Amino acid sequence: MSHNQQLQKIMAYNLLKGKKGIIFGALDANSIAWKTAERVHEEGGTFVLTNAPIAMRMGQINELAGKTISEIIPADATNEEDLKNLVEKSMEILGGKLDFVLHSIGMSVNVRKGRHYTDENYSFTEKGWDVSALSFHKVMQSLYKAEAMNQWGSIVALTYMAAQRTFPDYNDMADNKAYLESVARSFGYFFGKEHKVRVNTISQSPTPTTAGQGVKGFDGFINYAEKMSPLGNATADDCANYTVSLFSDLTKKVTMQNLFHDGGFSNTGVSQEVIDEFSE
Ligand code: NAI
């Protein structure tokens, strides 16, 4: 056993023992959802993995399913029928209602096709919004209508600080993230009142994944964020750990929050390293 594996072993606390859930968005080993699935498994949680049918053909999700002893149900997160089927089948497979759901989904067609923010193609904009933002509402509405969540369950989606502050190359994803964060608050109210379920978004550091690297100038940007963050950028593994804490019973009263998980970036005006870059 390597040193890292030993550390990981020591770091398993059984925080999610007996808990069941659904994890959206594991495309490959870099995906935040992939790392989260591995950590949830280590903490004793069981889950169904899901992704868009097309992503599965490209992705390596079978490998993850094998490792974490989980089943895969394809679902396009913009398709209500797919989501209904996913929620029903997941409860059958897992043998009961769910305790946690991770929404780790994002895609901008304008970004992909190189359309500038001042030159959006609005059918691209609508598609990207549906996939990246409205899908979170669709996922929660499907869970809500099926009464699929156990009391004190936890729903998490991933977001980025471009929802609050402008990052020119983040394009229409900034607007999608603002919408996503709003949906977390709005649905969080009803899920809390009716089912004692919490809903939060994690605002994560730039992370080298397929979605992350799609953003123009990502390399410069991730280095800048690293230099600006007193603790350095949060990695995908760090994000997985944070999500485990939000799925656990240790955060029962945290809801309707946008939680910055960024090594301190969001509250740093400037760092010494960045000043040094500009000093002669
Ligand atoms: P990723 O590319 O590994 O994951 C994105 C996932 O969205 C993929 O698995 C993809 O198949 C899935 N997806 C796309 N369309 C879908 C659809 N119609 N139905 C179901 N799934 C669909 O990249 P990453 O970075 O792990 O992204 C996960 C989340 O983290 C996204 O919400 C992203 O915006 C967010 N995030 C990422 C950051 C980064 O720098 N990588 C920073 C902050 C937030």
As a whole number, mean pLDDT of residues 184-208 equals 98
Is there a catalytic annotation at residue 144? no
Q: Is residue 26 predicted with pLDDT exceeding 90?
A: yes
Q: Which atom of ligand 1 is nearest to the CA of 132?
A: 32
CA nearest 254: which of 266, 245, 263, 267?
245
Residue 132 Cα to ligand 1 midpoint, Å, equals 8
- A 10 A CB-CB count for 82 gives 19
Q: Where are the beta strands (DSSP E) in 121-228?
A: 149-159, 198-204
Confidence at residue 208, expressed as pLDDT on a 0 to 100 scale? 96
- A 10 A CB-CB count for 197 gives 27
Question: 91 vs 47, 64, 94, 132, 219, CA distance in Å?
Answer: 10, 20, 5, 25, 41
Q: Where are the beta strands (DSSP E) in 121-268?
A: 149-159, 198-204, 257-261
| Distance from C-alpha of 229 to C-alpha of 188, rounded to nearest angstrom | 29
Residue 133 Cα to ligand 1 midpoint, Å, equals 11
CATH of the domain spanning 20-278, picked from 3.10.180.10, 3.40.50.720, 1.10.10.410, 3.60.10.10: 3.40.50.720
Q: Is residue 213 predicted with pLDDT exceeding 80?
A: yes
As a whole number, mean pLDDT of residues 185-191 equals 98
The pLDDT tens digits of the residues spanning 50-64 come to: 999 988 877 799 999
Ligand 1 pocket member 104 (CB < 6 A): yes
Q: How confident is the model at residue 215 (pLDDT cuts 50, 70, 90)?
A: confident
pLDDT > 70 fraction of the chain, expressed in percent and rounded: 96
Q: Is residue 149 predicted with pLDDT exceeding 70?
A: yes
Domain boundaries of the chain, sorted by first residue? 20-278
φ, ψ (nearest 5 deg) of residue 31: -55, 140
Ligand 1 pocket member 51 (CB < 6 A): yes
Q: What is the ipTM of this complex?
A: 0.99
Mean pLDDT score of the chain? 95
The pLDDT tens digits of the residues spanning 67-101 come to: 999 999 999 999 999 999 999 999 999 999 999 99
Residue 33 Cα to ligand 1 midpoint, Å, equals 8
Confidence at residue 273, expressed as pLDDT on a 0 to 100 scale? 95
Is there a catalytic annotation at residue 13? no
Q: Is residue 6 predicted with pLDDT exceeding 90?
A: no
Ligand 1 pocket member 158 (CB < 6 A): yes
160, 179, 224, 242: the active-site residue: 160
Ligand 1 pocket member 27 (CB < 6 A): yes
Helix/strand/coil percentages in the chain, nearest 5: 55, 15, 30
Confidence at residue 214, expressed as pLDDT on a 0 to 100 scale? 87
